[in-house]
Amino acid sequence: MTQPASSKLQALPRLRAALPLMTLLALGLGLLCSGQAQAQSYQVQSLSGTGNVFAYALNAKGQVSGTSADAQGNVQAFLSGANGLGLVARTQLPGDATGNAINFSGQIAGELAAGSGPLSVQAFVTGAQGQNPVLLGGLGGNVSTARGINDSGTAVGMARDSSNKFQAVQWLANSTEALRLATLGGSTSAALGINNAGLIVGNSGLSDGSVHAVVWGLNGLAITDLGTLGGRSSTALAINSLGQVSGSSRMADGNLHAFITGAGAQGMSDLGTLGWLHSQASFINNAGVVVGNLFNGTDGASYAAGHAFITGANGQGMVDMNSLVSLGDGLYLNDVWGLNDAGQVLVSDQNGFGYLLTPVPEAASSVMLLAGLLTLGLLARQRRSPTARLTSAQA
């Protein structure tokens, strides 16, 4: 008997003389504010439809992927149109397919769970706009999953080897061969994100049993240990075009804190927790805006009671996203699944249902921008005025 779709899926935001200068400053500030991910308000778009859609990935166009079920309970990965609107593609793979990441051209990277006996999980990647999915090779075990993909089509993730240990891997564009990445000497590793330069982030075990956030170089062999915030473990989940990395690390007291690095993956800075016990940073865009979640315990109930957060540029000014967005009906923003350079955020509520948040420019920023444009227009008109030219010549 087919398992109900809901149960299969549920497990799973002057002085006149100084006027020209101040106008230019206001114009610049207005432009900057309008581009920040941490806006005063967001347009909220629900993505869950009938409740059989769960969104787990977002690209630069605002396209969304994840998993959805049809009336017969068939669970497949999907790709929406721009800004989460419409349906562009739905995979037709032999099992339950989930989209974990999307690139600019709409290639989906994810995993397929199949088998009536021992469960087999296999990584897959599609062509542009979610077409023509291809299953990817592993390392000899029964599990592989793709967790990130860049605009060149290189996918990254992890796969079990013949000794049943998870290893970080990458699949180069147009290849199904899983290439094992270097480790820090331990027996396990995981690749969780990749930027367009081909730098990969994740974690690796050390010989002493600890696990550290790492960055792999362009060939997947050179590996850099990012260290921790004082505890024994850390993991990196995302990297932007400047090489800023975000993730989470254990502290000396055992609590988990979100972190950001500087450009080139230099240094690890604690983002704090807003008074919660734990925080983790899941995504970072090219302005250094970080999103993630806050929670008070590591059990499922505590995690479900957590809140989503967002920072300003370069990880500054963390705020609870629920102070910016109200879903009503007792719902709250619980987790984050994507962030792009337009400041759009893919989030879910405590029930797992998804929303696309699109930032609305602040009124003050819009006023400054309009004032700047008007004043620049007046100045340009004055320069074209015959009286202005005559006065200038007589001077």
Beta bridge partners of 201: 193, 215
Q: Which residues pair with 124 in a beta bridge?
A: 110, 135
pLDDT of residue 361: 82
294 close to 319: Cβ distance less than 8 angstroms:
no
pLDDT confidence tier of residue 377, bands split at 50, 70 and 90? low
- pLDDT tens figures, 313-328: 999 999 999 999 999 9
Residue spans of alpha helices (H) in the chain: 5-10, 19-35, 300-304, 363-384, 386-394
Is the pLDDT reported for residue 387 higher than 70? no
Q: Which pLDDT does position 219 carry in this prediction? A: 75
pTM: 0.83
pLDDT, residue 51, reads 67
Q: β-strand 140-149 against 155-161: which pairing, if any?
A: antiparallel
Kindly report each contact of residues 137-146 with a partner whose C-beta sits within 8 Å and lies 24 or more positions away, as own/partner: 137/171, 137/176, 137/177, 137/178, 138/169, 138/178, 139/167, 139/169, 139/178, 139/180, 142/118, 144/111, 144/169, 144/178, 145/100, 145/110, 145/111, 145/121, 146/100, 146/101, 146/109, 146/110, 146/111, 146/171
**Per-residue pLDDT at 44 exceeds 60:** yes
- Nearest CA among 102, 107, 7, 123 for reference residue 55: 102
| Cβ-proximal residues to 58 (8 Å cutoff; 6+ apart), any chain | 64, 102, 337, 338, 339, 340, 344, 345, 346, 356
C-alpha count within 13 angstroms, C-beta hemisphere, residue 151: 10
243: closest CA among 270, 268, 269, 215? 215
Q: Which residues of 139-149 are buried (b: 16+ CB within 10 A; e: fewer)?
A: bebebbbbbbb
Per the CB < 8 A criterion, the answer to whether 201 and 191 are in contact is yes
Mean pLDDT of 96-115: 97
Strand positions, DSSP E, 103-172: 108-114, 120-125, 134-135, 140-149, 155-161, 166-171
Q: How many other CB atoms are there within 10 angstroms of residue 281's CB atom?
A: 27
- Partner residues linked to 53 by β-bridges: 68
pLDDT of residue 48: 82
Composition of the chain by helix, strand, coil, percent to 5: 20, 40, 40
pLDDT tens digits, one per residue of 163-197: 999 999 999 999 999 999 999 999 999 999 999 99
Cβ–Cβ under 8 Å, residues 38 and 319: yes
Answer whether 215's CB lies under 8 Å from 242's CB: no
Q: Which of 254, 249, 242, 209 is nearest to 228 (CA)?
A: 249
Dihedral class, residue 259 (left if φ above 0, else alpha if ψ from -120 to 50, else beta): beta
CA atoms of 186 and 14, how far apart (whole Å)? 63
220-278 pLDDT per residue, tens: 889 999 999 999 999 999 999 999 999 999 999 999 999 999 999 999 999 999 999 99
Please report the beta strands in 207-343, taking only residues with DSSP state E, as ranges in sequence order: 211-216, 223-227, 234-239, 245-250, 256-261, 268-272, 278-284, 290-295, 307-310, 319-320, 333-339
- Beta-bridged to residue 146, according to DSSP, are 157
> What DSSP assignment string belongs to 98-110?
EEEEE-TT--EEE
Mean pLDDT confidence for 355-378:
63
d(CA 96, CA 319): 36
| Residue 212: Cβ within 10 Å count | 22
